[in-house]
């Protein structure tokens, strides 16, 4: 007779229904957008059901490819006429906060609600209809919307922070310039079940009541194959990778190169990225007589080829969270030069081991120029620093980081089936 006993129980990680929320995703090539999509894809590969939610006017798809089965939903309805009105209203709102130090509180509340109310209400309705197990909001606009949403069931809420917290909560130049918005960002954080921070020191920034909710969740860094590292060109080339924006301080790098370029006629500086300062930086290069030696390269889909061709990464940024350009360069065996007081950089770059941390005191431009020149003169030291880079990134391999994600989401709790 056939065995009529029940099949043995099979246990394994829980399969979760997950939503990632970010304000803007369409055609955006930023670091946080890339981390979101890579994380979503990796969790989908492990069997979880993943949806990405944004709230934006653009109808374009995400810049980075989505794994089959990962769905992107834009919560904002495509109303062309209202889009034009909203852009004018947002411009007026920005102008008020830029020109006047104090905007009357009732007007500030009205302006804030006009920008944010639709996001959280549409998110609330979507969550109520789809009932995911957990929702992960990337960066302050989405975190605020998730905190305010009341979907009618006890959804697990996670806030994923992607910069140094003092920048995200207190810097008026980031996100919404409204003081009301900055106040609400922190005031609403207790509604989160977990606060994901990029580095241990960022956890310590939060008040004691929130610190217990903070979990270190670094970005994943993909190791570079040893065969590629062996074939790396390492020519007379310094590269810089990042958005052409004030915080990256490319103007300092250009000025530093102007001081040392004559000593190194065979060397070239290439700056990869796009952004609002492109025209100003191009003019600065021309005014310094550096055309042909300092080049703005725009965006590239093949940045790893540049890491493997170069001898140094110059990263003079003012602040960072967990800079992808720095981690990718180190994984590719490229020494990194950055400032000792730059958050994120001063954790990942180990001074004298896998790169150099430049003193912040005194003339920053001169200090940065001296650090670059010292390494450009010394191939032996460059190779020694570069050789230590890949091992220094092994704590952040994708498998390790996705294990952390599953742990914080509760997926590591086993489920039993038949």
Stretch 217-238: mean pLDDT? 96
Higher pLDDT, 304 or 31: 304
Structure tokens at 40: 């979503």
At residue 85, does pLDDT exceed 60?
no
Stretch 146-175: mean pLDDT? 86
pTM of the shown model? 0.85
At residue 137, does pLDDT exceed 50?
yes
At residue 341, does pLDDT exceed 70?
yes
Which domains are present in the chain? 11-220+397-417 (3.40.50.2000), 226-395 (3.40.50.2000)
Q: How confident is the model over 356-414, as pLDDT tens digits? A: 999 999 999 999 999 999 999 999 999 999 999 999 999 999 999 999 999 999 866 65
Q: How many Cβ atoms are within 10 Å of 110's Cβ, its own excluded?
A: 13
Listed range (43-47, 119-123, 166-170, 311-315) with the worst mean pLDDT: 166-170
Q: How confident is the model over 287-327, as pLDDT tens digits? A: 999 998 999 999 888 999 999 999 999 999 999 999 999 99
CA distance 232 to 230: 6
Across the beta sheet with 134-138, the strand order is 71-74, 49-54, 17-21, 134-138, 156-160, 194-197, 214-216
CA distance 386 to 329: 9
CA distance 177 to 227: 48
Q: Which phi-psi region, left, alpha or beta, contains residue 197 (left: φ > 0; alpha: ψ -120 to 50)?
A: beta
CA distance 94 to 96: 6
Phi, psi of 21 (to 5 degrees): -120, 135
CA distance 350 to 388: 10
Q: Compute and round to an integer the Cα radius of gyration of the chain.
A: 24
CA distance 341 to 107: 38
Strand boundaries in 306-405, DSSP class E: 312-315, 336-339, 355-358
Structure confidence at residue 187 as a pLDDT band (50, 70, 90):
confident
Q: How confident is the model over 91-112, as pLDDT tens digits? A: 655 555 555 555 556 655 666 6
Structure tokens at 189: 């954080």
């Amino acid at each position: 007779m056939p065995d009529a006993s029940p099949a043995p129980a099979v246990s394994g990680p829980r399969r979760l229904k997950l939503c990632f929320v970010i304000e803007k995703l369409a055609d955006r090539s930023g670091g946080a957008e890339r981390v979101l999509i890579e994380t979503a894809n990796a969790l989908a590969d492990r069997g979880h059901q993943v949806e990405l939610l944004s709230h934006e006017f653009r109808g374009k798809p995400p810049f980075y490819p989505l794994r089959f089965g990962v769905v992107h939903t834009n919560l904002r309805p495509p109303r062309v006429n209202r889009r034009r009105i909203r852009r004018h209203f947002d411009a007026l709102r920005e102008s008020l906060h830029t020109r006047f130090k104090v905007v009357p509180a009732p007007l500030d509340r009205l302006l804030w609600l006009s920008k944010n109310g639709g996001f959280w209400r549409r998110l609330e309705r979507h969550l109520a209809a789809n009932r995911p197990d957990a929702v992960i909001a990337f960066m302050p606009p989405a975190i605020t919307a998730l905190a305010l949403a009341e979907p009618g069931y006890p959804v697990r809420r996670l806030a994923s922070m992607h910069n140094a917290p003092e920048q995200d909560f207190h810097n008026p130049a980031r996100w919404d310039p409204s003081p009301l918005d900055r106040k609400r960002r922190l005031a609403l954080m207790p509604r989160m079940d977990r606060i994901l921070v990029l580095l241990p020191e960022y956890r310590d920034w939060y008040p004691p009541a929130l610190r217990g909710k903070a979990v270190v969740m670094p970005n994943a860094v993909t190791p570079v194959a040893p065969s590629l590292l062996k074939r790396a060109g390492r020519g007379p080339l310094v590269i810089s990778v990042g958005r052409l924006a004030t915080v990256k301080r490319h103007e300092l790098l250009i000025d530093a190169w102007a001081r040392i370029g004559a000593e190194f006629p065979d060397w070239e500086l290439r700056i990869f990225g796009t952004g609002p300062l492109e025209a100003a930086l191009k003019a600065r290069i021309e005014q310094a007589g550096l055309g042909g030696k300092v080049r703005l390269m725009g965006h590239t889909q093949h940045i790893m080829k540049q890491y493997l061709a170069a001898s140094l990464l110059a990263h003079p940024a003012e602040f960072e969270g967990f800079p992808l350009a720095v981690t990718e360069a180190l994984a590719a065996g490229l020494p990194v030069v950055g400032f000792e007081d730059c958050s994120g950089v001063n954790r990942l770059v180990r001074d004298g081991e896998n790169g150099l941390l430049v003193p912040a005191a005194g003339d920053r431009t001169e200090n940065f120029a001296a650090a670059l020149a010292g390494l450009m003169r010394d191939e032996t030291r460059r190779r020694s620093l570069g050789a230590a880079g890949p091992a220094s990134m092994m704590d952040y391999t994708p498998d390790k980081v996705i294990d952390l994600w599953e742990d914080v989401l509760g997926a590591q709790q086993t489920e039993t089936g038949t």
